[in-house]
Amino acid sequence: MHNKSRITRRDALKLAGAGAAVAAFPFARPAIAQGAPLKVGLLLPYSGTFAALGDAITNAMDLYVKQQGGKLGGRTIQWVKVDDESKPERAVENTSKLVEGEKVDVLIGTVHSGVAMAMAKIAREAGLPTLIPNAGANALTRSQCAKNIFRTSFGNSQPGVAAGKAMIDAGIKTAVTYTWGYAAGEESVEGFKQSFLAGGGKILKEVRLPFPNVEFQAGLAEIASLKPQAVYSFYAGGGALKYMKDYAAAGLNKSVQLWGPGFLTDGVEKAAGEAGNGVKTASHYVDTLDNAENKKFRADYNAAFKKFPDVYAVQGWDTTHLLDIGLKAVGGDVSKKDDLFKAMRNAKFNSPRGPFRLSASQNPIHNFYLRELKNGENVFVKVAATDVSDPTTGCSLA
């Protein structure tokens, strides 16, 4: 990785202590000499059930920067990585290591919605340029939006709304929801319910499992006895893989269609093998999208990492692309915050996912695609919705 440093546990303890002293003066950071490296803090999961997601995001960001000669906006990029372990209870300590301990110039994080909510509170108070490359917590770009916070991924409800409508279009009338019971699962289901109920669908039961529990058997037995036409589930990473395997092992894949947001299959489609066949998902990305950016990105990523990128990598790529646009506008001087944020807010570019721009609350407006997993590949079925924007409810950036 380019010019990286990783904070050890011992450093972390020292920095958390230093952070406590700095917390009272969140704006007291040293002036940045032009030409000095730009310190970019990466708060991402590098262990636990979402580790592969953090790696994919990091790989793509590093690839982007390398393709720009190691610099964005004329500044050499220095990554500083902290493993957040997808643990909300450690989010304040981990964010503080980067914001107050390392005094990063830009913060990028994270994957887990609960961790992101705590991270964003600190970032908002510090006014630090912050980009969210995955976590979909709706509030981040609704009531908790901020001028300095940009999301390049999605809002949790977005794929749910697209999937619920696609299920109605497919003639499904009854469903059970089975998800991790934290913000991402709850809000994904909320989005699904919105369109599924509006289309006349009936929900027989909402079943939850605490994150990151992967003991799916009891819920699967309940689904078998309720006999819905379909199940809507939010799981991701290692948990999603085990879920698809357990679902098939219970024989449910023969009688009850499994649907979800793209995260259910992304990054684990090959490992799922036959167990994943027929799983239908709605996502803002499909591997086979026929656009020049996607073709080049997939070829370059494969050349660099000997594997093909997934949706998480695409989000990482778009994160550095957006940051690049902002940094170019201010010649790498992040103290020119108004101009930096304005350039990022108004950015429009062609992403591997298709056209990308931001809403008034700085969340992506993008297309949603319906996919079906067949023999280890998420196969494009149709465009489910174009130019989808999450509501900006409760957000005012004026």
Residue among 156 and 363 whose Cβ is closer to ligand BEZ? 156
The secondary structure of 330-343 as a DSSP string is: TTT-TT-HHHHHHH
Between residue 49 and residue 108, which ones bind ligand BEZ under the rule CB under 6 A?
50
Min separation Cβ 156 and ligand BEZ, Å: 6
Stretch that binds ligand BEZ, among 28-36, 111-119, 166-174, 286-294 (CB under 6 A): 111-119
- Contact (Cβ atoms closer than 8 angstroms) between residue 319 and residue 109: no
Q: How many residues bind ligand BEZ (CB under 6 A)?
A: 12
Between residue 284 and residue 323, which ones bind ligand BEZ under the rule CB under 6 A?
none
Min separation Cβ 136 and ligand BEZ, Å: 4
The secondary structure of 247-289 as a DSSP string is: HHHTTGGGTSEEEEEGGGTTTTHHHHGGGGTT-EEEES--TT-
Min separation Cβ 34 and ligand BEZ, Å: 36
- Contact (Cβ atoms closer than 8 angstroms) between residue 275 and residue 112: no
Q: Which of 283, 251, 246 is nearest to 264 (CA)?
A: 283
Q: Which of 315, 8, 12, 2 is nearest to 155 (CA)?
A: 315
Binding mask 13-52 for ligand BEZ (x = CB under 6 A): -------------------------------------x--
- Contact (Cβ atoms closer than 8 angstroms) between residue 84 and residue 106: no
Min separation Cβ 242 and ligand BEZ, Å: 15
The pair of structure tokens assigned to 99 is: 């914001």
Sign (positive/negative) of CA torsion 77, 80, 81, 84?
negative
Min separation Cβ 275 and ligand BEZ, Å: 20
Instruction: Give the strand pairing for 280-283 and 364-374.
Output: antiparallel
Binding mask 117-136 for ligand BEZ (x = CB under 6 A): -----------------xxx
Residue among 110 and 148 whose Cβ is closer to ligand BEZ? 110
Min separation Cβ 312 and ligand BEZ, Å: 8
Cβ-based burial of 382 (10 A; exposed 0-12, middle 13-18, buried ≥19): exposed
Residue among 95 and 229 whose Cβ is closer to ligand BEZ? 95
Binding mask 214-243 for ligand BEZ (x = CB under 6 A): ----------------------x-------
Which residues touch 217 (CB under 8 Å, ≥6 apart)? 246, 250
Cα 350 to Cα 136, 239, 257, 293, distances in angstroms: 21, 31, 34, 7
- Contact (Cβ atoms closer than 8 angstroms) between residue 367 and residue 386: yes
- With CB under 6 A as the contact rule, the residue among 46, 178, 232, 263 that binds ligand BEZ is 263
Binding mask 136-155 for ligand BEZ (x = CB under 6 A): xx------------------
Q: Which amino acid, residue 374?
A: K
* 111 near ligand BEZ (CB under 6 A): yes
Min separation Cβ 11 and ligand BEZ, Å: 27
Summarize as ranges the residues that interact with ligand BEZ (CB under 6 A).
50, 111-113, 134-137, 156, 184, 236, 263
